[in-house]
């Protein structure tokens, strides 16, 4: 739509989000088209995990930089922006999920690392830990919760 493209040129946030969505689309297609080529753990890390990690970094940067604008109000434009943000967040999540079921983990149950070996499990743990760190979510372990209850 020509009108949407003109609006994107005027709105840096929408322009960045559309750029990110194109990257997500390209990486997703790349992962889907090369399932056998990514069965090697190092190839999987380089061709799948690193690009997805970079997308997560870019998504986090967009959200951080445009924080005030994202908090918007009730106007039609702001509601459309919220819809676009929701769609993009969903695409990022789906891409993370897809990469965790690709390469050496293809055909496995999500989060089931018993058959994949220590190297692949370590690579996956490193990737997921980094993605969680980027999200800004604080994770407390059961032992930390017990310590907090004692204080």
Residue 151 scores a pLDDT above 70: no
Quote the radius of gyration of the chain (alpha carbons, Å). 19
Three-class DSSP category at 37: coil
Residue 4 scores a pLDDT above 60: no
HSE-CB of 63 using CA atoms within 13 angstroms:
16
Residue 50 structure tokens: 């690193």
In contact, 113 and 59? CB cutoff 8 Å = no
How does pLDDT run across 59-96, given as a tens digit for each residue?
998 888 887 777 766 778 788 888 889 999 999 999 99
**Could you tell me which residue, 76 or 21, shows the higher pLDDT?**
21
For residue 110, the model assigns a pLDDT of: 62
In contact, 49 and 99? CB cutoff 8 Å = yes
DSSP 1: -
Separation CA 14–CA 7 (nearest Å): 8
Residues contacting 131, CB < 8 A, separation 6+: 53, 56, 96
How does pLDDT run across 97-146, given as a tens digit for each residue?
999 888 888 775 666 777 788 888 899 999 999 998 887 666 566 666 66
């Amino acid at each position: 739509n020509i009108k949407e493209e003109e609006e994107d040129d005027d709105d840096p946030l929408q322009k960045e989000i559309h750029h990110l969505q194109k990257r997500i689309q390209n990486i997703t297609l790349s992962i889907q088209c090369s399932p056998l080529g990514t069965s090697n753990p190092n190839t999987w890390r380089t061709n799948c995990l690193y690009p997805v990690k970079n997308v997560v970094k870019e998504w986090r940067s967009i959200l951080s930089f445009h924080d005030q604008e994202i908090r918007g109000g009730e106007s039609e434009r702001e509601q459309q922006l919220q819809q676009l943000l929701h769609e993009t967040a969903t695409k990022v999540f789906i891409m993370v999920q897809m990469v965790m079921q690709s390469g050496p983990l293809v055909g496995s149950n999500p989060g089931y690392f018993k058959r994949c070996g220590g190297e692949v499990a370590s690579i996956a743990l490193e990737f997921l830990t980094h993605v969680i760190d980027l999200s800004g979510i604080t994770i407390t372990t059961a032992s930390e919760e017990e310590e907090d209850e004692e204080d």
